[in-house]
Amino acid sequence: MKKILVVDDDKILQTVLKHTLEQQGYKVTVASSGKEALVLFQEDSPDIIISDVSMPEMDGFDFCRQLRSQPSGQLIPFIFLSARGELDDRVFGHSIGADDYLTKPFQMKELLAKIEALIERSRRIHAEIVHLIGELVNSSSKLTAQDNTNAFSKFVIDSSPAKVSEPPVPLPLTPAEERVFWEVIQGFTNKQISERLFISPRTVQTHLSNILSKLNLENRTQLVRFAFENGYEKVGQ
């Protein structure tokens, strides 16, 4: 079931959106401020976020900026749904990372269409990442000792049966972080990893953030590329 996080301090609109979207088959979580939404996002990452702009504690613009500053929040589809419909507001919303900006009052039919379009685009991006993983697997098997000059791993991939490849240098991770690392490079989402390792999605995200920090990487795509360029997928197989 696709998950939507609705962020708006208008309780009536919260109720209307939650009811309507659930009738369309979505699982809906609601928050009344950007601050609350960030906590919910860490606990269980949604497939798309719909946010108001004017809210207490943390407004929608600050929420969007903070979300986009996190590796796990960079690719989440994001729609502003706000009564602030001036051109400058709409332009600013897009400039800080929103994928779309609808003004109130709005047509539910249009909102539903935009939701589906953005979720489908996100699905295509994920499929492209999976395709990239496949290409990296194929290319890594063709590397030779001369080709591989990575200073971090210093390992050798050689298809010759007469030679044995040296394993990559152990990762600078805790055992729990390593388990999440192997799951991520296989293409599993936070929710899937949570179910496979019997830990909460929030714990998965915490471990993933630590992994990215320790390896000086910014996002999942870079982590996958790092793993396959440095031979770690061979160890996990």
CA–CA dist 10, 82 (Å, integer): 11
Task: Say if residue 52 is in the same domain as residue 164.
Answer: no
- Which tokens go with 162? 């007469």
Q: Alpha-carbon dihedral of residues 174, 179, 184, 185, nearest 10 degrees?
A: 90
CA–CA dist 108, 24 (Å, integer): 11
Determine, yes or no, domain membership for 136.
no
Task: Say if residue 194 is in the same domain as residue 106.
Answer: no
Q: Give the contacts of 137 (CB within 8 A, at least 6 positions apart).
A: 228, 233
- Which SS3 state, helix, strand or coil, does residue 157 take? coil
Task: Say if residue 176 is in the same domain as residue 112.
Answer: no
Q: Looking at residue 169, what DSSP letter applies?
A: P
Determine, yes or no, domain membership for 10.
yes
CA–CA dist 44, 198 (Å, integer): 14
Determine, yes or no, domain membership for 79.
yes
Specify the CATH number for the domain of residue 29. Answer: 3.40.50.2300
The structural domain count of the chain equals: 2
What is the per-residue pLDDT for 109? 95
Contact status, residue 98 vs residue 80, Cβ threshold 8 Å:
yes
Task: Say if residue 174 is in the same domain as residue 88.
Answer: no
Determine, yes or no, domain membership for 134.
no
- Concatenating the DSSP letter of every residue in 33-73 gives SHHHHHHHHHHS--SEEEE-SS-SSS-HHHHHHHHHTSGGG
Task: Say if residue 120 is in the same domain as residue 146.
Answer: no
CA–CA dist 58, 46 (Å, integer): 19
What is the per-residue pLDDT for 138? 64
Task: Say if residue 107 is in the same domain as residue 17.
Answer: yes
Q: The tokens 């960030």 sit on which residue?
A: 38
What single-letter amino acid sits at 169?
V
CA–CA dist 60, 95 (Å, integer): 13
SS3 content of the chain, % helix, strand, coil (to 5): 55, 10, 40
Determine, yes or no, domain membership for 183.
yes
Burial of residue 185 (number of CB atoms within 10 Å: 0-12, 13-18, 19+): buried
Task: Say if residue 112 is in the same domain as residue 185.
Answer: no
What is the per-residue pLDDT for 191? 84
CA–CA dist 7, 25 (Å, integer): 19
Task: Say if residue 110 is in the same domain as residue 153.
Answer: no
Specify the CATH number for the domain of residue 145. Answer: 1.10.10.10
**pTM (2 d.p.):** 0.60
* Last residue within a domain, chosen from 75, 93, 124: 124
Determine, yes or no, domain membership for 151.
yes
Determine, yes or no, domain membership for 131.
no
What is the per-residue pLDDT for 225? 83
Task: Say if residue 22 is in the same domain as residue 107.
Answer: yes
Determine, yes or no, domain membership for 87.
yes
Per-residue confidence in pLDDT tens, the chain, 237 aa = 899 999 999 999 999 999 999 999 999 999 999 999 999 998 888 999 999 999 998 999 999 999 998 888 888 999 999 999 899 999 999 999 999 999 999 999 999 999 999 999 888 877 777 777 766 666 655 554 445 445 444 443 444 444 444 556 778 889 888 889 988 888 888 888 888 888 888 888 899 999 999 999 988 888 888 887 787 754 444
**Domain span at 189:** 141-236
Contact status, residue 52 vs residue 60, Cβ threshold 8 Å:
yes
Task: Say if residue 82 is in the same domain as residue 156.
Answer: no
Across the beta sheet with 3-7, the strand order is: 27-31, 3-7, 48-51, 78-82, 100-103
Task: Say if residue 10 is in the same domain as residue 79.
Answer: yes
CA–CA dist 161, 179 (Å, integer): 30
What is the per-residue pLDDT for 153? 47
Task: Say if residue 120 is in the same domain as residue 8.
Answer: yes
